[in-house]
Amino acid sequence: MSTTRNPGIEAPTTAAEILERAKALAPRLRERSAEIEQARQLPADVVDMLRATGVFRMCFGPEWGGPELTSVQQAEVVETLAYGDASAGWCAAIGAMTGAISNFLDPAVVKEVFPSLDMITAGLIAPAGHAERVPGGFRLSGRWSFGSGITHADWVTSGAFIYQDGKPWASPDGSNAHASRQFLVPAHEVGVVGNWDTTGLCGSGSSDYTITDVFVPEEHTYTFYKVRGRTDTPIAQPDSFMRSLCAVPLGVARAALDHARETALTRVDKMTGAVWADTFRVQVTLAECEAEFNAARSGVRSSSQRHWDVLAGGGTLDDLSATERAASSLAWVHAFRTSRAIVNRLYDLLQAWSINRSSPMDRWMRDTATMCQHVAASDLILESGGAYLLGRPPKFRMSLGIVK
């Protein structure tokens, strides 16, 4: 399989190549940020540029000719793209999950629905839809919110509760009184509501979308708790869909830190004549924000690497201590919230130079405020991690990679 949307461009085959292309694209994304925000979705040529980096193929395994980047490598690519533009980085992280999804589908279906490794899957995994059992599959209807990347997706995956003859359908093993699963639908059968008008992440195009009485074959459905592809890949885990999202706020925080430092080197206080770079307030603020950034980023990387090493070595997440297992999802929340705090503090540091719409600080402040409302940055993750550490059942099992 190779890139189909960018003819003449050789597909990258390694993590280093994908990262190199992401670094080259980041300045161009920064130049397009205002346009992306105004459009409330990624322009088509920006999507093509993202495809050309290889970001959407980075979770495909070698059995498909993919590079299968580690969690840390994925985060580095997403962080780099978010450094250029938060919405582009967000959509990259979402769309890159196509390769992860392939592990939960039958290999024959993967060949059918993903003829290119650079195809994009969007959608909401929460079971907001109604799936009626019919011969050979399901009739799917519903409306889902927050379809990041829905305007440029090739496929849409959506969660829905299952019904039979209009009544809730229970899992055959009795584990769930009303079962749900994921449904994969071609994007052309999905209606985009176009209601994404938000404070930040404006360019992500995360509109509501609808599906109305669409037939979905049984083989185009899946759950995150049954691997149908390779079982020895660390990506075939329920939590793999959330691992790289926290790299988006980290990329934004890094951009804000660099911007604030560059600004401080050119500013002189108009009232006192003091050079900004020589002032205590500026020096301490930048130093503290750097320390907070480094700690948050290191927490994400160390916990992700630990999980990956155990899984790649043939173990399971059950082999981790409770502290180690909870560390990764807790690091996500910390990265989101710390990044927002850093941006807000730098916004205040730069004072009136932050407030114009033309200032990147204004956009970064709004972007981090919005992305911190995502479930990956929510108290639900903290509650689930805390419950797990106390030996209690976590409310959001998926965030801890728990399959039973």
Average pLDDT over residues 247-251: 98
* Cβ atoms of 34 and 93 closer than 8 Å: no
The hierarchical CATH code for the domain 15-113 is 1.10.540.10
CATH level 3 topology of 121-222: Butyryl-CoA Dehydrogenase, subunit A; domain 2 (2.40.110)
Q: How does residue 3 score in pLDDT terms, banded at 50, 70 and 90?
A: very low
What confidence category does residue 175 fall into, taking pLDDT thresholds of 50, 70 and 90? low
Sorting pLDDT into bands at 50, 70 and 90, what band is 1? very low
Residue 174 confidence (pLDDT) above 80: no
Over residues 42-48, the mean pLDDT reads: 97
Residue-wise burial string across 6-44, b where 16 or more C-beta atoms lie within 10 A, e elsewhere:
eeebebbeebeebbbbbbebbeebeebbeebbebbbbee
Average pLDDT of the chain is 94
Judge whether residue 274 has pLDDT over 90: no
The pair phi, psi for residue 315, each rounded to 5°, is -90, -175
Please name which of 370, 401, 394, 188 lies closest in space to residue 308, comparing C-alpha atoms.
Answer: 401
Reported pTM: 0.94
The answer regarding whether domain 246-400 maps to CATH 3.40.50.300 reads no
Out of 4-13, 112-121, 163-172, least confident range: 4-13
Residue 383 tokens, joined: 């509650």
User: Is pLDDT at 6 greater than 80 in this prediction?
Assistant: no
Q: Please state the separation of Cα 174 from the chain's center in Å.
A: 32
Confidence of residue 8 (pLDDT cuts 50, 70, 90): low
Q: What is the mean pLDDT of residues 10-15?
A: 90
295 pLDDT higher than 80: yes
Please count the other Cβ atoms lying within 10 Å of the Cβ belonging to residue 45: 9
Q: Do residues 86 and 251 touch, judged by C-beta distance below 8 A?
A: yes
Give residue 342's pLDDT. 98
- Band of pLDDT at residue 49, cut at 50, 70 and 90: very high
Structure token digits, residue 103: 């592990």
Least confident range of 97-106, 116-125, 214-223, 273-282 = 273-282
- Residue among 303, 339, 308, 330 at smallest CA distance from 399: 330
Within 8 A by CB and 6+ apart from 67, the residues are 12, 13, 14, 15, 18, 54, 57, 58, 60
pLDDT at residue 173, rounded to an integer? 67
Query: Given this model, what pLDDT does residue 271 score?
Result: 77
What are the residue boundaries of the structural domains of the chain, listed by start?
A: 15-113, 121-222, 246-400
